[in-house]
A and B are shown apart, each in its own frame.
Chain A
């Protein structure tokens, strides 16, 4: 429930709830701007929803790309934003649209796998007999390898490497703490390098 931050010189234990600390990862003026957009939409100005869509569509796209087949992602992005527009009145914290829509995307991905009967067995062959470097395989193969990493790593890696977001942007839009994003990026990249047959020295 409490955030513990430490570096070489200081140790900070903040009594703020974790959620408040997560939301605080985004700049205040940006959060206020988005809260204003949400308020206008709730008052009937639905055209403002296009701005939120333009801002958060890459986030939702990345979250889905790490979880569902690539051919399904575009349609699911549209569905998720239409669903978000319909349920916008249930958003309690108007400044937390990003974390909210990210959670909708994750839940929708879970529902997708629950509803689909076709499953693909994942074996270790993909890892052991896989490519020996990024240049030796295409984007689809690398994405496949990323999708077999743990949840926390694959989502962060896709947002960073595919969607081109920086770590602070990922933290601000998903509601995760910058520290968590940094750890996920570092450890996920380390695992990806190992699976691609790269070593630290390269």
Chain B
């Protein structure tokens, strides 16, 4: 088989290849005019936004929308009492749900100044426009918390003492120390 003739029609023609060319040549493409409809738009370059980019933008927008909606839902209106009022428990505060929410979500404009160590843990109020009732409730909660911690400490000391007595070791002996002499 003459590969050169099969490849680029050079060299000595291969008779069988020539024979096949003659037979199959009858099926060769016969030129036909291409009829292009006038209404067909010729392809123009246009800005194609990739689908992935569009999806990413959509996700970001969706996330922002959800975040905004969530923030609006968590902001609960807080009852504000004028600063001149002296009573620690105003009579018009009768909605415990609102108070509890206000304790958990301290407003930005509310600043508490705590006393150093001694004395009551009750905070001193430093407000801009008025005093919030939630501060009183918060002070009570912190006082209860301090009492609870004190009780826990006492219980812990008592438990340690009871454990030492049950193990038989003297209470004044320091553990993990070797005797000398």
Contact = CB atoms under 8 A, between A and B. Distances in A.
A202 interface: yes
A6 B27 CA distance: 37
Interface size class of B (residues with CB under 8 A): 20 to 34
A198 B16 contact: yes
B9 interface: yes
A81 interface: yes
A153 to B, nearest CB: 13
B91 interface: no
Given A86-B41, A143-B27, A160 B19 contact: no
B21 A161 contact: yes
Given A53-B34, A134-B20, A160 B25 contact: no
Contacts, number: 107
B40 to A, nearest CB: 6
B24 A161 contact: yes
B8 A88 contact: no
Interface residues of A, number: 51
B46 interface: yes
Contacts of B29: 57-58, 61-62, 77, 163
B6 interface: yes
Interface string B1-36: 101001111000000110111011111110110111
Contacts of B42: 41-42, 44, 46, 85, 88
Interface residues of B: mostly helix, strand, loop or mixed? loop
B85 interface: no
B43 A139 contact: no
A106 interface: no
A70 interface: yes
Interface of A: 41-42, 44, 46, 49-50, 53-54, 57-58, 61-62, 65, 70, 74, 77-78, 81-82, 85-90, 134-135, 138-140, 142-143, 158, 160-164, 166-168, 182, 185-186, 189-190, 192-193, 198, 200, 202
